[in-house]
A = this chain, B = another copy of it.
Amino acid sequence: MSLQSHLTASISSSSSQFLAPSNFNSSRSVSVSVPTKRLGTCRCVATPAEEKTTYKTKVSRNANIAKLQAGYLFPEVARRRNAHLAKYPDAKVISLGIGDTTEPIPEVITSAMSKRSYGLSTLEGYSGYGAEQGERPLRAAIASTFYKDLGIEEDDIFVSDGAKCDISRLQIVFGSDVTMAVQDPSYPAYVDSSVIMGQTGQYQKDVQKYANIEYMKCTPENGFFPDLSTVARTDIIFFCSPNNPTGAAATREQLTRLVRFAKDNGSIIVYDSAYAMYMSNDNPRSIFEIPGAKEVAIETASFSKYAGFTGVRLGWTVVPKQLLFSDGSPIAKDFNRIVCTCFNGASNISQAGGLACLSPEGFKAMQEVIGFYKQNTEIIMETFNSLGFKVYGGTNAPYVWVHFPGRSSWDVFAEILEKTHVVTTPGSGFGPGGEGFIRVSAFGHRENVLEACRRFKQLYK
């Protein structure tokens, strides 16, 4: 993320119908609702274009998109970072906010991509349209690497340009008439894509929730696993484990309960396992380790946080052929139709990289990158532990979830930035259940993580 793009990031107030063009270019934009009252300097911006243009089409704005809160979490974080930089131009700002990978991709992987690129200049190496579902050797390698002995076959795997993109394609499959549940707090794409597809009601400012979404509260009190006895039945249940942002990983027993809950209700679980390889203990790496899950679950995953592929773009989604709609038709059939109609396959070069990731040498290299970030995580955990904070996550995920009981997330975020020049992410950006927490990302160069921790120790000693 360049400084240039940081500097163009900005945000409008949620009451504004118009964003200046520069706002379209905010560098990061996973969107979440940010309480307007905390936005500080936000304002409506009119451009010269707006003044000159009087012609309007007669096309009505999509009412579902209008429901979305204007605030994007990460651009707002970037905006505050930039305001901070303007205030302290000489400060060495360290970002442990956005969760973007920083370490180079192992050469065994990039050389495969490089070779594939060059090969495209030869008659033998050239390939045009590939299968929208992904190249067969990669699908087979994913199946045998991550789902061996779980009854997941090559044909159940759909290679994609990333989990975030697949989440929206799944929402297109489900359509506007389903109901959905989500962990609170959670990765904002689940809720936002649900709003976009028209599954929800309006945003309710008082509770900071959209109507018609079941928010499953995940707190230290319930071990970050929802009390299913109080959760209403929904068609779809989004569930991320190890979780972003809390870092909590569900146990085998908890996931068995979740699968049972889905089965009793006839629900579909969309299980996001993008951080599975960060698991330290023996919790399941895949929902399909739970017997019966193939009849109630979809799993989405990604190479982003394993191989540093955040920019290369490669992920996959597992839709077992055993998963059926109420009319008996397979979800995989409709997902395949959407993948074929709304997508055209991941880049063939990225797929060559993915295949290299799953070679013995590539897999080992990938594990080393993950190990590096896990060491970062330990350093951050030890730091906050030593300062007497209650610290969650970290063990099974590259995120440390630090509790500041009774305090506003945005206030703590501002305090840390002001006094240590370190960017974190306010927990309330992930849903109302994140209030009072700060997410500290372990993605960073070692010297930056160490320096950030030195500063935390000075601030909170």
| Central interface residue in A101, A106, A129, A164, by most chain B CB within 10 Å | A129
**Contact, CB under 8 Å: A62 / B21:** no
B residues less than 8 Å from A161 (CB atoms): 161, 313, 343-344, 347
B residues less than 8 Å from A61 (CB atoms): 325-327, 329, 334
In this complex, what residue of B is CB-closest to A332?
Answer: B24
**Contact, CB under 8 Å: B55 / A295:** yes
The A94-110 residues at the B interface (CB cut-off 8 A) are 98, 100-107, 109-110
Number of residues on chain A facing chain B (CB within 8 A): 129
A71-115 toward B: CB 8 Å interface, digit per residue (1/0)?
010000000000000000000000000101111111101110111
User: When chains A and B are docked, how far (Å) is the Cα of A387 from the Cα of B62?
Assistant: 52
**Contact, CB under 8 Å: B107 / A128:** no
Does chain B have a CB within 8 A of A390?
no
User: When chains A and B are docked, how far (Å) is the Cα of A63 from the Cα of B325?
Assistant: 12
CB contact between A56 and one of B68, B266, B340, B443 (< 8 Å): that residue: B266
**Contact, CB under 8 Å: B98 / A122:** no
Does chain B have a CB within 8 A of A435?
no
**Contact, CB under 8 Å: B121 / A103:** no
Min CB gap A138→B, angstroms: 13
In this complex, what residue of B is CB-closest to A12?
Answer: B333
**Contact, CB under 8 Å: A329 / B123:** no
User: When chains A and B are docked, how far (Å) is the Cα of A168 from the Cα of B174?
Assistant: 15
Stretch at the interface among A1-9, A35-43, A250-258, A392-400: A1-9
CB contact between A193 and one of B59, B118, B266, B342 (< 8 Å): that residue: B342
CB contact between A18 and one of B29, B266, B333 (< 8 Å): that residue: B333
In this complex, what residue of B is CB-closest to A65?
Answer: B334
B residues less than 8 Å from A334 (CB atoms): 61-62, 65
Given A25-B155, A110-B119, output 10 extra A-B contacts at Cβ < 8 Å.
Answer: A23-B336, A58-B266, A104-B121, A114-B115, A117-B353, A120-B308, A129-B310, A164-B344, A168-B172, A196-B342
User: When chains A and B are docked, how far (Å) is the Cα of A312 from the Cα of B189?
Assistant: 26
A13-48 toward B: CB 8 Å interface, digit per residue (1/0)?
000011101111111111100000000000000010
Does chain B have a CB within 8 A of A222?
no
Min CB gap A440→B, angstroms: 17
Given contacts A31-B340, A340-B30, contact A326 B118 (CB under 8 A): no
**Contact, CB under 8 Å: B56 / A324:** yes
User: When chains A and B are docked, how far (Å) is the Cα of A24 from the Cα of B267?
Assistant: 23
**Contact, CB under 8 Å: B129 / A1:** yes
CB contact between A120 and one of B23, B27, B104 (< 8 Å): that residue: B104
**Contact, CB under 8 Å: B311 / A348:** yes
Min CB gap A345→B, angstroms: 7
B residues less than 8 Å from A120 (CB atoms): 104-105, 110, 113, 308, 311-312
